[in-house]
Structure 1
Amino acid sequence: MTPTATGIAPTTNTIQTPPPTPQPKIEVFAKLGPRYDEILTPEALSFLAALHHRFAGRRHDRLSDRMHRRFEIGKGHDPTFRADTAHIRDDADWRVAGAGPGLEDRRVEITGPTDPKMTINALNSGARVWLADQEDATSPTWKNVIEGQLSLYDAIRGQLQFTSPEGKEYRVTAERTPTIVMRPRGWHLVEQHMQFTDRSGRSMAASGSLVDFGLYFFHNAAQLIENGVGPYFYIAKLESSEEAKLWDDIFTFSEKYIGIPHGTIRATVLIETLPAAFEMEEILFEMRDHIAGLNAGRWDYIFSIIKNYRGRGARFVLPDRSEVTMTVPFMRAYTELLVKTCHKRGAFAIGGMSAFIPNRRDPEVTAMAIEKVSADKKREAGDGFDGTWVAHPDLIPTAKAEFDAVLGDKPNQVDRQRDDVHVKAADLIDVHIGRPITAKGVHDNVSVGIRYIEAWLRGLGAVAIDNLMEDAATAEISRSQIWQWIHQDRTIEDGTPITREYVEGLITRTLEEVTRFEGDRFDDAAEIFREVALGEDFPAFLTLPAYSKYLVDGQ
């Protein structure tokens, strides 16, 4: 080493350049079908990565809150209206954004999955709004998730066509098509064919909610605005105003990301969980810049009550599913409170879906369905709802007639205040109906549950069974009632205990009753049903184990 003038050798400093911080990314781990690259573009995946980077952690926090809340109810702490948000409910001055363009008249909305055939049928239906359902009416196979996005992409651009395997051609022929309101999956569901890696290098399955919302919004928001409407969403399974705030922040971020005005997005939130029923005003408040209204999601609401009170004793046991109608007191309290809350804040109140559907080959079944649906929609219109759901195009005239009779030429009745409604917390959890559990009710739950799950495993999310439209929510009622009846030592009318052994006999009977065919999934469906209805533990959603075991490619 050469000395310096001071006799001290210089120190050589090597500057270590730190490795670059990994950027958040979304990767696809599934086969790509025709045109999948039009949806899974690098730009769209970058947007999904940005959504996950900012919001995936909060999603996990909110799911943890749900578990804590269910635990507290299970311990005996009944839900009630929150004291810490009373100032929001007491402030009479605030209002929500309300209807966006194309949502001013929602008197009849048709619901259904997003495959090409059902998309075209919905667009030709004559309904005012189409709930394009990527949630309970869609089995989340990889094919359904991405090809549903392709159907919507083409429909929004007026280029959707479909030819069935039998050669029948389907085209959009309606002069006026419904306004599309897309429903992404709930917070609890993941998309295991896509993986998010954060800046620390940690990887996890993508959120089904963010994938469905993000792909649809990124590709279609600008085109929808050009079409004179906007990016509209139905938001499912919310349980708190904190969850609503999370969605509102996602909307604000997304609007900024693509450069559209704040408030362009409009959401309609389904009040379909018991905790959310106690926070309707708070949910509206947290989403006030983006929300158009609330919907009474009746089937998931019944499921939520069973789920939360499944271990709280005989007082909270419901009878046969067919006896839990919209006219029983606790369901009346929930829907009347929803209408009152919405109209107080300038929001739309949208009614739910009667499960009865027509059968074009059976006039007697069709007549009964029309009679039942007519009574249901007459009640909703009379109660102040601004619109309602149907699951079949043939029911649109029936539903429309009942709302026309109340609305006339008015697009809605948001101005109708329900000051006569006074719902207490106890009213929402007074579930006593006073009807027995029947042998038929137990059998039907087992039979419908297995037959629906079988179809779901084959990629069908909305299924006509015994002249009723079944989806994931109604299947949840079927299996959760079985679980509760067993664990609460219930009996049928003749005193026969409802035990695991009794239900096992019904599972065997169901497998003997169904018509088997090549490629059916009845054996797999029976195993899933056993797990979610007969197990000691109660899975929060039957779709969670069914998805991870059977719908993830490569397993």
Structure 2
Amino acid sequence: AHELLVRGSGAYFYLPKLEHHTEAGLWNDVMDYTEDALNLARGSLKCTVLLEHILLSYQIDEVLYALREHIVGVNAGRWDYLFSVVKKFRTQMSTPLPDRAQVSMTVPFMRAYTELLVKTCHQRGAHAMGGMAAFIPNRRDAEANTAALAKVRADKLREATDGFDGTWVAHPDLVPTALEVFAAQLGDKPNQKDRLRPEVSVTGDQLRDFSVPGGTITEAGVRNNISVALQYIESWLRGAGAVAIFNLMEDAATAEISRTQLWQWLHHPLARLDDDRPLTPALYTQLADEEQAKVGHLDAVKLAAARQLLDALVLADDYAEFLTVKAYDQL
């Protein structure tokens, strides 16, 4: 840490998965203790908090205060945030969420939390960081790349226009697109923390209104969740925690929302596909068999174990808090 500071840098951390501001207070104590132990000036260690849990969206002020000597910004998560929504409110939702591809950052409850994030951070002098663009370019498919880059550009334009100060991307090839969009918005300024967004007023009810206008559950959405969950769990069991699936860089968050949606669709009394079929265990099994066959090139033993785990997670009456806890039994 001393050497990094001499070089004009520092020891920087990001803090994921927080659910309550008291956890931020614990991390503040850890960093204070470390600075004292290493004879570093207070505030030498810096951090960014990932806002990826719905309960934490009610406590942004408290998080910023708890970490006030260390925090530089808050980052907007997506899949983990959606995962937390279903996990925490699964028994209280009047209707289940639709295909996760339809739950974009512009649906009302997602937009509410990102606008609240920007407003609160800027009021407290912290940076608001946009979410991850997970697209992985395929240099053998120019047409697909063009379409995906257009979506990345639109997403980063929304972030920059909303007041975010920067953003994340999963691949170096996306950096020029993100830089171009933010440079056009910021000009010569390093950030736009001066935009305090006084016009934004987000209520707790807006954060908890999970309706998605026009949202549907489709067979394609069910298949995608099954396939992504199987491929990710197989990869995780082989020791890889991040993996490219369908040209997207996926981590445990995507597998969690995928299997969580499957569980909700199987158990919610009002869950129906857009052709009015319920997702029954028999239909799930049929689709899972077909999707598993499509990825038969993967490690056969690990894929079989992934399927067994996915079945156990989504068909059980009791919801499992984290798939990785169950997956450790397979290691």
Instruction: In structure 2, list runs of 5 or more residues that go unmatched.
Output: none
Taking only aligned residues, the RMSD between alpha carbons, in angstroms, comes to: 1.3
Alignment of 1:125-524 (within 5 A): 221-315=1-95, 317-434=96-213, 435-489=215-269, 490-517=271-298, 521-524=302-305
Q: Is the 8 A contact 2:244 2:250 kept in 1?
A: yes
Letter aligned with residue 277 of structure 1: S
In the TM superposition, residue 519 of structure 1 has moved relative to its aligned partner by: 6.3
Aligned pairs, how many?
A: 329
Letter in 2 for 1:430: D
Distance 1:281 1:478 in 2: 31
Alpha-carbon separation, structure 1, partners of 2:226 and 2:279: 12
Q: CA deviation at 1:356?
A: 2.8
- The change in CA–CA distance for 1:370 and 1:267 in structure 2 (over 3 A counts) is same
Hey, which bits of structure 1, 4+ residues long, moved more than 3 A? 517-520
Aligned-partner Cα distance in 1 for 2:299–2:108: 46
**SS of corresponding position for 2:88:** helix
State the alpha-carbon separation in 2 of the partners of residues 505 and 223 from structure 1.
58
Per the TM alignment, residue 457 of structure 1 is displaced from its structure 2 partner at its CA by: 1.2
Is residue 135–residue 171 contact of structure 2 (8 Å, CA) maintained in 1? Answer: no
The Cα offsets for residues 279-303 of structure 1, whole Å up to 9 and x where unpaired, read as: 0001001110111110101111111
Identity %: 51
- Give the direction of change, closer, same or farther, for the CA distance of 1:518–1:461 in structure 2 (3 Å limit): closer
Larger Rg: 1
Q: Shift of residue 436 of structure 1?
A: 1.3
CA drift at 1:518: 5.3
Kindly indicate which of the two structures has a greater share of residues assigned to helix.
2
Q: Is the Cα contact below 8 Å between 2:79 and 2:254 reproduced in 1? A: yes
> Normalization by structure 1: what TM-score?
0.58
DSSP 3-state at the match of 2:133: coil
Query: Normalized against structure 2, the TM-score is what?
Result: 0.96
What are the Cα deviations for residues 404-426 of structure 1, in whole angstroms up to 9, with x where unaligned? 00111211111221111000111
Corresponding residue for 2:318? 537
Q: Which structure 1 residue ranges, 5 or more long, are not aligned?
A: 1-220
Deviations 1:469-525 (A, max 9, x none): 221111111000001111103121122111222212222112211133556510011
Contact 2:134-2:171 within 8 A present in 1 as well: no
Which amino acid letter does the alignment assign opposite residue 261 of structure 1?
A: A
Give the direction of change, closer, same or farther, for the CA distance of 1:480–1:280 in structure 2 (3 Å limit).
Answer: same
Please state whether the residue corresponding to 1:360 is helix, strand or coil. coil
Structure 2 SS opposite 1:314: coil
Distance change >3 Å, CA 473–CA 517, structure 1 → 2: closer
